[in-house]
Amino acid sequence: MIGSIVTTVKGHLQGTMENDICVWRGVRYAKAPIDGLRFRSPEPVDNWSGVMDAVDFGPVPPQPMDRAVRTGMSGNEKMDEDCLFLNIWSPRADDNKRPVMVWIPGGAYITGAGSLDMYNGHLLAKNGDVVVVSINYRLGALGYLDFTELAGEGEIFENNLGLHDQVASLKWVKENIEAFGGDPDNVTIFGESAGGNAVTTLLTVPSARGLFKQAIAESPAPTSVYGKGFARQFSERFLEILGIGKGEIHRLKTLPVQEIVAASHQLLQENSQEMPGSLAFGPVVDGDFLPDYPLDSIRSGRAGGIPLLIGTNRDEATLFDQMDPPLIPTNMAMIHKMFENTDPKAKERITNAYTNYPEKEAVLGIGRDATFHIPSVWYAEAYSRFEKTWMYRFDYKTAAMRISKLGATHGMDIPFAFQTFDSAFGKRIVSYGSRSAALKVSHRMQGHWVNFAKYGNPNPPEGEIWPKYDETNHYTMIFDKKDYIEKDPDRMIRLAWEGVGIYK
């Protein structure tokens, strides 16, 4: 049944009732970042009078659509620089103050949007009796290149704009979500890939404190945050691609957005080949908004007080191996390039930890661990010294993913957390015959996510089945056909990577 509903939040928003869930799409949480606000921090949205439709998704952030289609888009989405919108799914717009789960989408900080069908919050909201929010934020050069040190006198360019957008969306949720049946004092942020990196970064952003109570990081790359010196090379190369010389940076303010997107795409491709394992676009340590490298902040105990659930997938790298170029190391040439400034003894220690190196499976394992798993372990180890932490590994392979040899690849966990097996990606990974088995895994996984959002603990109220993570036991939940707890999985690989850094 579909009908209209109206709720008030700084004006009137008209959404829809869809299969007993209230849905508002395309809700503006900040002013359009265009014209004079391009490369500036987001500004609060103005109040309005009358009734505003919140029925259709807002435009997706400007991005290279050929890559965006790989992340689950149809290719027909409206794209616009005016993209700072969020979407809400709630059982009811009442006074029940349900837990709120805010989804930060991934896509290497160059693709993605909260409107992807695999992020549909309907079943998560319905099954868990929670309010689900998905957001957009600025991508590519518009959101994640730092031009602050290249700008001329009187020219204002701000950095970490995508991260600023995320904070702005959380402020909007804090101020308004009660009108949608949510509890502004019980917000959980969760995200995957770049969205997971956003989570592990936001935990250390001072202006984000108090805006969320729990955090879930799925397949994050916690160390993919760079200093201004390292980040500057990306900004300078971006200007070279556009043919913008010193003293001309003001041209970025009025350049057609299509040219910015094209140059962002070229920079991404070049970086994948020149510095595999790093991101061309990502948060930058500026000493202010982002005071320090998140892992260093965590190790110094500056970001405790918020329970964390963090994990990775067993076969992260297989998806990237199908990309051209890959975004992470997936072949021997890229592995050698990644390690070229690493101590040879450390490189030998690492490669010796992988059975049958240099065969393909071992190479993919190194790419997976360098980018996702090992940085997540480091983060979890440090975090667990000060705050409750739980770690998981997603191992479940549907029949379709076994046949394709992708296995439990990057992003496979998303349809299980949201239970969106009817999405384009969900249909690819779950055939009709294996749907019932996948639903069982999904119900268990989603149940842990909802418990965490409700109680700050993934365990059910009746007792513990998932022990906390610490540096002594490294207890890890393995999600598979039958879930189980493993103590310190892949211990020898973990030890081999200790003390090794790639880019900073």
**Is 316 an active-site residue?**
yes
**Residue 288: both structure tokens together:** 């202010």
Alpha carbon distance 20, 23 (integer Å): 10
Residue 96 CA neighbour count, 13 Å, CB half: 13
How many other C-beta atoms can be found within 10 angstroms of the C-beta atom of residue 58? 23
- Write down the catalytic residue from 192, 316, 381, 448: 316
- Interstrand relation of 12-18 and 182-192 (parallel, antiparallel or unpaired): unpaired
Tokens of 251: 């041209």
Active site residue 193: yes
Catalytic residue among 410, 442, 448, 474: 410
> Which residues, other chains included, contact 43 with Cβ-Cβ below 8 Å and sequence gap of 6+?
30, 31, 37
Exactly one of 90, 134, 193, 272 is catalytic; name it. 193
DSSP 428-470: HH--GGGHHHHHHHHHHHHHHHHHHHHHSSSS-TT--SSPPP-
Helix axes 161-176, 194-202, angle to 10 degrees: 70
Tell me how many degrees the CA angle 310-407-470 measures, rounded to the nearest 5: 25
Give the span between the Cα atoms of 89 and 15, in whole angstroms: 10
Vertex 472: Cα angle to 468 and 474 (nearest 5): 50
In whole angstroms, what is the distance from residue 470 CA to residue 460 CA? 20
Annotated catalytic sites, by residue?
193, 316, 410
